[in-house]
Amino acid sequence: MSKYELMEVDNEKNLPQALAEVWPVIKLAQEELGFSQTPSEMTLGNLQYSGEKPITWLKQCLAQSLQKASALKEAYWNYKKKAREVEELRLKGDPKSIIEADEIESSMADTHHYIKNAYQDIQTYNQAAQNIRDKFNIPEEISPELLDENSKREHIRKAFRQALHDVQTSNTISNGVSEHLEQYGIHPMTAKVQVDAYRESVIELFKEGKMPTMQHMINWLDTMEDFHINSVYEQARYMGLLR
């Protein structure tokens, strides 16, 4: 066999034949399954990981849309350049140029799939952003004051969620979470008492044969947020940041 011939596959079919048979199956699976995250993974997972409050989720939606739109723009123009390059190579018509054109077209199929999925991802995030705006009555133009208020409430909720996790794991609030609480004007021992009281209320529900849902914990975080929001302002006044 010449050194320029392809090795046989399964001793019967050469590589081009084998690829010609399996490639349509792979492409079909790619179209059906894609490579990006599902809408649930993008929203339930990524948004909640980003923070505690609707405005924070909205900011994350917009940040993800912007990031994907920038990548999509770059991919689109690269795709157009490759298409033009293929035209020029095919016009040359020599065997080497034809092979190069075929190779570029092969890679363009993957780029097209990426563009399609990125566009769908942007639509998912934009729709999620609109749903969040509608549900929580978030204005189109968010003032700096509203963003600052959201940040304060965000940190209260995050600190108490972390404190709850700490107490569940070690029955104490870690140094890092204690510092987080103190920075926002919350006494760590007060937080520990409130976390313990919440855990006791959950245990009582278990004894009654009831199973608390995540909404139960969200309601408690709502209570902690409202209870401690003034502490944040008191801390800021103590530091001379507010009058």
pLDDT in tens, 184-241: 999 999 999 999 999 999 999 999 999 999 999 999 999 999 999 999 999 999 999 8
Mean pLDDT of the chain: 84
Q: Is the pLDDT of residue 3 over 50?
A: no
Confidence band for 5, pLDDT divided at 50, 70 and 90: very low
Q: Is the pLDDT of residue 7 over 80?
A: no
The token pair at 133 is: 């705006």
CA distance 167 to 199: 9
Give pLDDT tens digits for 161-188: 999 999 999 999 999 999 999 999 999 9
Q: Torsion angle of alpha carbons 201, 205, 208, 210, nearest 10°?
A: 170
Give the CB-side neighbour count of residue 163, counting CA atoms within 13 A: 30
pLDDT for the residue numbered 2: 44
Mean pLDDT is lowest, of 35-44, 48-57, 75-84, 194-203, for 35-44
CA distance 178 to 191: 9
CA distance 177 to 183: 10
Q: Is the pLDDT of residue 14 over 90?
A: no
Residue with structure tokens 């952003």? 129
pLDDT for the residue numbered 224: 97
Domain ranges of the chain: 12-136, 144-238
When mean pLDDT is compared over 3-12, 55-64, 124-133, 158-167, the highest value belongs to 158-167
Report which of residues 33 and 157 the model is more confident about: 157
Task: Indicate whether this model's pTM tops 0.75.
Answer: no
pLDDT for the residue numbered 24: 61
Confidence band for 66, pLDDT divided at 50, 70 and 90: confident
pLDDT for the residue numbered 25: 55
| Position 35, amino acid | F
Q: Which helix (H) or strand (E) holds 93?
A: none
Give pLDDT tens digits for 98-148: 999 888 888 887 777 777 788 888 888 889 889 999 999 998 888 999 999
pLDDT for the residue numbered 1: 45
Enter the DSSP assignment of 57: H
